[in-house]
Amino acid sequence: MPTLVMPRRYGAVNWRGLWTLCLKDLHRARKSFRYSVLGPVVSNLLFLAVFAVARGGAGSYVGDLTFLQFLVPGLVIFAVCECAYSTSSESLLFDKMEGMIADTLMAPLTPLELTVGYACSSAAMGLITGAAVAFPMLFIVDLPIASLPSILFFATGGALMHGLLGIIVGLWAERWDHHAAALTFIVIPFGFLSGTFYSVASLPALAERVARLNPVFYVIDGFRAGSTGHADGSAITGAVVVTLVVLSLAVCAHRLFRIGYKLKP
């Protein structure tokens, strides 16, 4: 009498699958460590050096912070965001281009597990890179910690926001051009123009209003406030905006996985 092979049962969540998916992307990032982590460390130190020299001695205060104290949190949080975006979008696009995406789609993972797995691993990579970027800067610039919970909240929020955006771009993109275009025309301008390098309070009135419509502004501003105590916007508004944007991007990414957008025929 042959024994019947029963389908394997999972509980509500396939924990092992989810964990494996996360590890897969972290391992991939570890293999390109020099490129994905050390690259941002060097380029951000360069930004710091260039701004320190270009800004010179005179008038280098923003509010009651020195310009460098103002700048470093902006550089760190932007490194977090950019790395989170690149990790998920490059991972998905690479797998799609090489035809390996089937290995992820065949595994018993629900759309929700896929969304969470990709979002968490890319956010984790973003935070690791951010820590690596911040570390040498702490020796150069004296940085206070005004509120650790805000630092963690806005760093994680920014990382998740960009990780989820990376999922959406990774699913939508069909070629490397598309990925690069989204980075050059969306992620970098949104980050750079919303207060990474300067206080939006110094912008002309109209430009300032536009900057305040940008969710990335709240990520950067909230993170900077957590570190230095200098805020251009309200922390409560920031927390609400960041949470809402993360949730809506998560819903969008989940839906794309569910309908198999550009993934399944």
* Residues near another protein, by CB under 8 A: 32, 34-35, 38-39, 42-43, 46-47, 49-51, 53-56, 59, 67, 71, 177, 180-181, 184-185, 188-189, 192-193, 196-198, 202-203
CA distances from 213 to 70, 150, 182, 194, 254 (A): 21, 20, 19, 10, 25
Tokens linked to 140: 């150069």
Burial of 42 (0-12, 13-18, 19+ CB in 10 A): exposed
Residue whose token pair is 């998916």: 21
Q: Report yes or no: 219 and 242 within 8 Å, Cβ to Cβ.
A: yes
Least Å from the CB of residue 56 to another protein? 6
Tokens linked to 67: 């310009």
For another protein, give the closer residue by CB, 25 or 113. 25
For another protein, give the closer residue by CB, 199 or 243. 199
Length, in residues, of the chain: 265
For residue 57, the SS3 value is coil
Least Å from the CB of residue 39 to another protein? 4
How far apart CA 212 and CA 210 sit, in angstroms, is 5
For another protein, give the closer residue by CB, 175 or 258. 175
For another protein, give the closer residue by CB, 2 or 57. 57
For another protein, give the closer residue by CB, 188 or 239. 188
Residue whose token pair is 């989204």: 182
Least Å from the CB of residue 55 to another protein? 6
